Amino acid sequence: MNDQASLPKAALWMGGWLALMLTMTVAGREATRELDVFQIMVMRSAIGLVLLMPLVMVAGGLRTLRTTALFQHVGRNVVHYTGQYLWLYALALIPIAQLISIEFTMPIWTAILAALFLGERIGWRKSASIALGLAGVAIIVRPGVDTINLGQLLALASAVTFAISVIMVKALTRRDSVTTIIFWMLVIQSVLGLVPALMVWKMPSAQDWPWVLLVAFCGTFSHYCMARAMVHAEATIVVPMDFLRVPLAAVVGYLVYAEAIDVFTALGAGLILFGNLLNLKRGGTARIPPK
C-alpha cells in the first residue's frame, strides 16, 4: 500500500536538514583549521557508521541493508564525495553566506535533471520559485568577473555535483530504504577516502574532536532528513525549501564570525523566502512508495 505524499512531513524533515547543515557549517570550518579535508571526511564517515547503528537495529538489523543497486550507490557516492570535498575546501576560503548562496545555483540543476531523468514536471510555481531564489542569491553574492576567486569556483562546482547527487538519491528512494541509502553512503565514502586520509593523517587534538564529532553527526543525519523529505515530496518541491539556508547562514556567519549582513543580503533573503512560500502554497499530490 502506498503512502499519500505529504508536504507538511517533507517540510518537517527539511527543517531537520536545515538545522543540522547550519551546525555542520560552523563545525566544518573549525575542524579545517587544524585537520586536512580528506581526514575530516573519512572520520565523518567512519564515526557516522557507528552513529547510524541504532537506526539500523530499529529497521531490522544488517540483513535489511541488502541492495540490488550497489553500482548506483557507488556512482552516487563518488559524485557526492567529490562535491563534499569541494564544499569543505571552499568553506575555508570564503564567507559562510557567500558559500551557501553560491551553493544555491544547485536547485536549477536539480530541477532540470529531475525533469530529464525522473519525469518530474516543472510548473509555473516551481519555475517562479527557482527564479526568485536564484535572483535572491545573485543579489547576495553580486558576482563580477574581477571578483570571482578560487573559493567561489569550488563552491559552484560543488553545487553542480550536489545537484546530480540529489537526483541519484531520489532515484534510489524508489528502490531502497533511507537507512540503506545512508548506510551505503558511509561505507562507500569510508573506502573512497581511506588512502587520501592516511596520506595527510594528523592525530586530532582534544580541541578538534568535538568539531569532528559534530561534523559526523550532522553529516550523517542531515542526509537522513533529506532522504526522508524526498520520500514525501518531489525533488523540485523539497530542494527549494533549502533556500532558507541562505538567510539563516548569513545570520550564523554574523553571530559566530562577525561577517556583516548588508542590505543586499536582506533583499536577497526576502526574495528567497517569497519564492519558497510561493512554491509551498501548492504542493504535489503524487503517491510515493513507502520506505
Q: Tell me the pLDDT band of 289, cut-offs 50, 70 and 90.
A: very low
Mean pLDDT (the chain) is 82
Helix axes 96-103, 124-141, angle to 10 degrees: 150
Mean pLDDT to the nearest integer, 268-285? 66
Q: How many CB atoms lie within 10 A of CB 48?
A: 24
Please report, to the nearest 10 degrees, the dihedral formed by the alpha carbons of residues 133, 135, 141, 147 taken in order: 140
How far apart are alpha carbons 32 and 23 in whole angstroms? 14
Q: Tell me the pLDDT band of 284, cut-offs 50, 70 and 90.
A: very low
The number of residues in the chain equals 291
- For the chain, which residues make up each domain, given as ranges? 3-288
pLDDT of 143 reads 64
The tens digit of pLDDT for each residue in 227-266 reads: 788 778 876 677 777 778 878 888 898 889 888 777 877 7
Please report, to the nearest 10 degrees, the dihedral formed by the alpha carbons of residues 227, 229, 232, 237 taken in order: -110
Mean pLDDT to the nearest integer, 281-287? 44
The tens digit of pLDDT for each residue in 161-211 reads: 988 888 888 778 788 887 888 899 999 999 999 999 999 999 999 999 999
Percent of the chain surpassing pLDDT 70: 88
Rounded to a whole number of angstroms, the CA Rg of the chain reads 18
Can you give the pTM of this predicted structure? 0.75
The tens digit of pLDDT for each residue in 101-151 reads: 778 777 677 777 777 776 777 777 778 877 887 787 778 767 665 566 788
